[in-house]
Structure 1
Amino acid sequence: MHRLVRSIPHSVRPLPVIPALLVLALLPGLSACRASGGPDAQPDAAKAQAPEAVPVEVVNAQRRSISASYHGSAPLEARAEAQVVAKTSGIALQVLADVGQHVAAGQTLVVIDRDRAKLQVAQAEAQVRKLEANYNRALQLAEQKMVSASDLDQLRFDLDNARATLRLAKLELSYGEVKSPISGVVASREIKPGNFVQINTPIFTVVDTSRLEATLNVPEREIATLKPGQKVELTVDPLPGKTFIGRIDRVSPVVDAGSGTFRVVCAFESEGGLQPGMFGRMRIDYDQRADALVIPRAALLEDSGQPAVYVVRDGKAHRVTLELGYEDGPWVEVRKGLKDGDQVVVAGKAALREGSAVRVLRSTAVTAQAAQ
């Protein structure tokens, strides 16, 4: 008798039995995986996505004196400048001055050949002597009724005319000495000994450097604030680190209709190396407040519109609009919007928005730098 044996397919064979101890060992791991992926994990994820605080540098609004000032620039000019011209023609016999030499008003700079003028003076003097003699004889004859009154008047007229001719000849002779009309320094010389000098031709330039002037074209809104006598501080690039003190010398009372400006002339003593032609930067203080609330200019936001700053309060940045007053170098006066001790952001402003969380970096170097 044959036994019937059925083969069981491989796909339906029973699974091997997992030992109970192995299952118990895996349960804690499965529970941990379930806990990490369950609802209890949401607070940690939210915390990871919270924005970080923006690091900023701040300076406290403080009280200090501040000045209202006008700033302008203009080239320095000599107080007076004269072109020395010859009033006659002739050969330059002597040239008595050179560039850079100090000369006084009335000092002779050039001597021109005047032989012809001397002869004219001699002729005029002879004519005067002749007419004086004729006039004196006529006076004696007039007492004897031998000369008419009309003839005597004619002789007097001829004598006066001869004397005027003599004065003119002497004046022409004096033109042989070309003199400086002002005191100053010879800036240029256009003549050499032996050159022929043309009448009315400039041969020297003399500048008075004892006092320098700078003319500012000031907007008309400042016409009520700038007055003669106010102090002016001057700096020039060729002399770094030096500040020169001058005064407003003259203020034009007329506003130019085309430019809307008026002229302010500032005067400075020529000292410390100042020279005509230097380009000067001027500051004129016309008012001062001794106890003004100020902040660094660097704290102001650079976007257009009303002046504003970011103020740190309770760890957050808040945009505050301001009403500004005077500006003085790195400082700006705040008339409305802040109070003493408010922390205004001076660095890190670009990354801030209204309500941004901030992390204040306390640095005394920042405060010192803002005050410079």
Structure 2
Amino acid sequence: MEVKTIVTVMALMLLAACSSSPQEDSAQPTALVTLATVGRQAVGETIRLYGVADSGPGERADLFAPIEARFVAIDAPVGSAVRQGQAIVRLTPGPTTMLYMAKARSDAQAANAAYARAVRMRGDGLMSDADVETARAAKAGAEATVASLTGRSLTLRAPRAGYVESITGTPGDLFPAGTSVVTISGTGAIRARFGIDPALVGNLHIGTAIAIRTAGSSRVIPARLSAVDPMVDPQTKLATAYADLPAGPAFRPGETLTGEAKMQGSGDALAIPYAALLDDAGQPFVFVVIKGTAHRRDIVTGSSDGAVIAVARGLSSGDKVVVEGGTALDDGMRVRLR
């Protein structure tokens, strides 16, 4: 009787195990995805540029700190339209200038006293006319030094009507004498000036089409590059590209611009839709589906025009990559097609 019971129990356990397998299989997580086939095609490249509206060199005027001075206030910020003579920034004498002023005033007082003494002694016949003239010249020189330090206006004003293109520094900064503080542009032609990675200089040429947008606007302004300067600015480490802006839209010098130049691709590149591309801490990857299962593939990417992206390594022509639903996948997950 006991043997029959044991056999019965084992049979029931086997039956339960067999009946549970389909349930476990059906319980595996799956994801709905859309696939695309990896193929070969010419892939263009979109180069994004950042810059400002800029007047031509003949339209510019710089305003300099006449003496060592401290930045006090801005009366007309960058982008402001200004009339001739309008105040733009205000400066005040810096600490070294204040010392020079104090010394110059002291020297002038001493020179005045020496001149007065020379005049008195000449009247008493104790000094010659040449001695008096020497004292007078010293007095005039000392007074001229005081005037040069105290008589200059420290309010920088527009030399002509135009726009404030740039202002160096912020209130509180100290400028050495001769520092360019303000750049004023005229009301003539305005161009776009973009900083570009020196490695991209060879991809941009005069006549290259560029779509320009102003900051905070979705309006696209078509233009073409008018010059490409490969010389690298020592401060920004960038080369420069210029585009002539059309006469219709209104631009102000100093206004922030972005540009997109679309370069035509050459050759036959392995490519995938940009939507298939995923990123893991800087490592690009995609999911490739093989027999209903998603497998992660790390890839090396190339140029992109925003719609498709070239793949240098990691995929083969004919692979099926996930273009929709990839963010919900894990490596090895089963998938179903939408």
TM-score for the superposition, normalised by structure 1? 0.49
Contact 1:78 1:207 in 2 (8 A): yes
**Paired position in structure 2 for 1:42:** 17
AA partner of residue 215 (structure 1)? F
* Structure 1 unmatched runs, 5+: 1-32, 86-98, 102-108, 111-180, 189-204, 362-372
Question: Residue 289 of structure 1 aligns to a residue in which SS?
Answer: coil
Contact 2:211 2:220 in 1 (8 A): no
**Paired position in structure 2 for 1:300:** 277
Question: Residue 224 of structure 2 aligns to a residue in which SS?
Answer: strand
Question: Residue 270 of structure 1 aligns to a residue in which SS?
Answer: coil
**Paired position in structure 2 for 1:165:** none
How far the C-alpha of 1:34 sits from its partner, in A, is: 7.0
How far the C-alpha of 1:49 sits from its partner, in A, is: 2.2
> Kindly, what percent of the aligned residue pairs are identical?
22
AA partner of residue 213 (structure 1)? A
* Structure 2 unmatched runs, 5+: 1-7, 64-79, 86-158, 165-183
Q: Of residues 193, 206, 211 in structure 1, which corresponds to 2:190?
A: 211
Change (3 A) 1:342 1:257: same
Contact 2:163 2:187 in 1 (8 A): no
CA distance in 1, matches of 2:299, 2:331: 16
Q: Of residues 220, 223, 241 in structure 2, which corresponds to 1:245?
A: 223
**Paired position in structure 1 for 2:212:** 234
AA partner of residue 212 (structure 1)? R
CA distance in 2, matches of 1:68, 1:223: 14
Render the CA deviation track for 1:176-209: whole Å, top value 9, x for unaligned.
Answer: xxxxx99xx7559xxxxxxxxxxxxxxxx76234
Change (3 A) 1:53 1:81: same
Contact 1:249 1:267 in 2 (8 A): no
Q: What RMSD over aligned residues (CA atoms) do the two structures have, in Å?
A: 3.9
CA distance in 1, matches of 2:203, 2:41: 22
Render the CA deviation track for 1:204-226: whole Å, top value 9, x for unaligned.
Answer: x762343323231x223224333
How far the C-alpha of 1:270 sits from its partner, in A, is: 2.8
**Paired position in structure 1 for 2:314:** 337
Change (3 A) 1:224 1:308: same
How far the C-alpha of 1:44 sits from its partner, in A, is: 1.8
How far the C-alpha of 1:54 sits from its partner, in A, is: 2.4
Contact 1:209 1:270 in 2 (8 A): no
How far the C-alpha of 1:322 sits from its partner, in A, is: 2.5
Contact 2:191 2:245 in 1 (8 A): yes
CA distance in 2, matches of 1:287, 1:45: 58
- Aligned pair count reads 222
CA distance in 2, matches of 1:227, 1:258: 24
Contact 1:62 1:341 in 2 (8 A): yes
Contact 1:232 1:248 in 2 (8 A): no
CA distance in 2, matches of 1:292, 1:316: 26
CA distance in 2, matches of 1:83, 1:354: 62
Moved over 6 A (4+): 33-36
CA distance in 2, matches of 1:286, 1:56: 32
Bigger mean CA deviation after superposition, 296-305 or 56-65? 56-65
Change (3 A) 1:240 1:306: closer
**Paired position in structure 2 for 1:311:** 288
CA distance in 2, matches of 1:186, 1:69: 35
State the structure with more CA Rg: 1
Change (3 A) 1:250 1:42: closer
Contact 1:212 1:270 in 2 (8 A): no
CA distance in 2, matches of 1:36, 1:237: 76
Q: Is 1:327 the counterpart of 2:296 in the alignment?
A: no
How far the C-alpha of 1:235 sits from its partner, in A, is: 2.0
How far the C-alpha of 1:282 sits from its partner, in A, is: 1.0
CA distance in 1, matches of 2:283, 2:62: 58
**Paired position in structure 1 for 2:330:** 353
AA partner of residue 240 (structure 1)? S
Change (3 A) 1:100 1:262: closer
